[in-house]
Structure 1
Amino acid sequence: MLHQLTVLFKDHLSTDPTVYCTDKYTVYQLADGLRFGIENTILTPRELDLLNLLVERVVTSESDQIVTWRRRLEQPSSEEAHPFRMIHFLFEQLDVRTGEDLQQLLTSFFHPSSWIIPLTSNRLVVIEREDSVSENDLHDFFTALQSDFLMDGKVLIGQQRQSGDLAAQFRLEQAALRELPLLHIERFLPALMRLTLLSNEVRDDLIERFITPLERESRETIDAFCRANLNVSLTAKHLFLHRNSLQYRLDRLTEQTEIDIRSFEGAMFLYTLLLVA
């Protein structure tokens, strides 16, 4: 597609960020992540409408703080020392006016400490810093958006992190969002399980992140706990441990992975990665 667009717009199209990252250009992103800009002065309303249907328009002009957040998300690595959770939204056929109305609704729905970061004309992420909205409230909000705006979309509820690499977490959750079926709202772990089955590269990254750093004792605990159907007493008996000692191990696993192994989804996720490691 880029070749055809280059033939059509010639020197008015640029893939150089130092050129297109100015107010003189409208910036777009292809499905493979490649970005390009086209000079505003030569784009007709019809061409703008057509481009918005074919590719995602990248949001480039916002407040300095939002620009800073967006740059952090796009970096190879960006360590965040404070707790955070990301909520990812992707909508179909979202025009500029509707996008502005949507941002206002999101601002009123989420806690004032949260940041609403537009990424493209159809995609945005909310970074929660303090209070997190409940999953039930988010379901109701998403259903209302679909009804009021008559548009299709999907939402991924990211992992609650106490700290860590914000940019790496963003890329992982964006990849999971892409594979999420339309009209769905899904939590982090089920989405990652789907991604693990679809992408060998992501699966290897997840093993490196969640399983490789664990000592042998922790891996044995995951295996025994899941084989015992998450029964603490039965697991302690199998491992010849006091119940309190096992509770300490489970707490330690949750601390290390930031995944609650006592939940069905958390146990299934870690056990699956352990099996394919």
Structure 2
Amino acid sequence: MFNRLLKLYPNAISTNKPSTDPDYIWIKNENNYIGIPKSALSEKESSLLHVLFPFESDTEIEPTLSNSAKEWRNFLKYEGPFPTTHSDHIRFIHFSINNIRDEFHFVEWEEAVKSVFSDEIIIVPFSNSHGVIIEEQSNVSITEDELFSAIQAFESDFFFKIHFFIGQFQETNDSLKSLFPLEQSMLELSQSEHPEERIFTREKLMPLYLYRMIPNKEKNILFADVHTLLKDDIDLAETIKAYIENQSNATLTAKQLFMHRNSLQYRIDKFIEKTGIDIKTFHGAFFAYLACLHIDEK
């Protein structure tokens, strides 16, 4: 029977532990589970599976969604209408949780998150491990520092690691549907490239995002001279990268790198002399940062 189901639904998956992805219906086969995408089922097929098999994720492990959360999920993931909102501007705060324990309770974590925000928010989970927070713009919108403090408490209380991507407030219209997957991809990029970081924003990720958009062949051409000059001096490239990331603040960079400020200035002058790139200008700093990313990649 279960082998036939797997053949009938090629996109179905078999595993020894069901996930909490609300886009799947899970049925039990002794000690294994089969997950069938809801999008692959007609209404009659779904009803039949409900009758034949007692275990399903949407009744046992899927987080309970409010009507507002259902509206947003249907809009963002499917073809649902634009959700009801009371604000002219909203933003997405995407989250992804790693190292979840078996006894993790999403509802408890959801309540903890809501307590951090001054105003009411909507949490839209796509699984136990990732989702999005819908925040309406107000005079007391949460800051990056406040969210970072909350992360430390979350990770201490729930014993997991969590990453956030804080989007920008946008007008509440249909363009949000296109913005949403773009911001999700930026969160995924931040996790893959900087797993040690907990919070990212568009501004922080934009240089890396743009660098990834450049075809490899063109990267090799654009940054060939810098790579040739610095390939044997990786520490210099890392120093310049840190200096630019710290908004050209020499004192902060020297402290971060456990270096005397004069030694840092010597390295900055050395980089400018070797490459001819004046990192004290905006355009020079931006190009040098992309070049340093390329050296890291090599």
Normalising to structure 1: TM-score of the pair?
Answer: 0.52
Letter matched to residue 10 of structure 1: L
Residues 156/26 of structure 1: CA separation in 2 closer, same or farther (3 Å cut): closer
Q: Is the 8 A contact 2:93 2:167 kept in 1?
A: yes
CA distance in 2, matches of 1:179, 1:93: 18
Q: Which residue of 1 aligns with 2:132?
A: 125
My pick for the range that moved more, 71-80 or 147-156, is 71-80
Q: Is the 8 A contact 1:13 1:38 kept in 2?
A: no
User: What are the Cα deviations for residues 155-193 of structure 1, in whole angstroms up to 9, with x where unaligned?
Assistant: 111112134412111111100000112242111222233
Q: Is the 8 A contact 1:89 1:123 kept in 2?
A: yes
SS at match of 1:84: strand
The percent of aligned pairs where both chains have the same amino acid is 19
Residues 36/12 of structure 1: CA separation in 2 closer, same or farther (3 Å cut): farther
1:182-221 matched pairs, under 5 angstroms: 182-184=195-197, 185-199=199-213
Q: Which residue of 1 aligns with 2:164?
A: 155
Q: CA deviation at 1:142?
A: 1.0
CA distance in 2, matches of 1:153, 1:140: 12
Q: Is the 8 A contact 1:15 1:37 kept in 2?
A: no
| RMSD, matched Cα | 4.0
1:104 aligns with 2:107: no
1:139 aligns with 2:148: yes
Q: CA deviation at 1:124?
A: 1.9
CA distance in 2, matches of 1:118, 1:158: 17
CA distance in 2, matches of 1:141, 1:76: 34
Residues 157/47 of structure 1: CA separation in 2 closer, same or farther (3 Å cut): same
CA distance in 2, matches of 1:158, 1:15: 32
Q: Is the 8 A contact 1:88 1:177 kept in 2?
A: yes
Q: CA deviation at 1:64?
A: 2.4
Q: Which residue of 2 aligns with 1:87?
A: 93
Letter matched to residue 133 of structure 2: V
Question: How many residues in Structure 1 have an aligned counterpart in Structure 2?
Answer: 179
My pick for the range that moved more, 60-69 or 167-176, is 60-69
User: What are the Cα deviations for residues 94-138 of structure 1, in whole angstroms up to 9, with x where unaligned?
Assistant: 346432221010111123332111111101211111332011101
Q: CA deviation at 1:139?
A: 0.9
SS at match of 1:156: strand
Structure 2 gaps, min length 5: 13-17, 35-56, 216-281, 291-298
Question: Aligned match of 2:188 in 163, 178, 188?
Answer: 178
Normalising to structure 2: TM-score of the pair?
Answer: 0.49
CA distance in 1, matches of 2:158, 2:136: 28
Q: Is the 8 A contact 2:114 2:120 kept in 1?
A: no
CA distance in 1, matches of 2:195, 2:162: 6
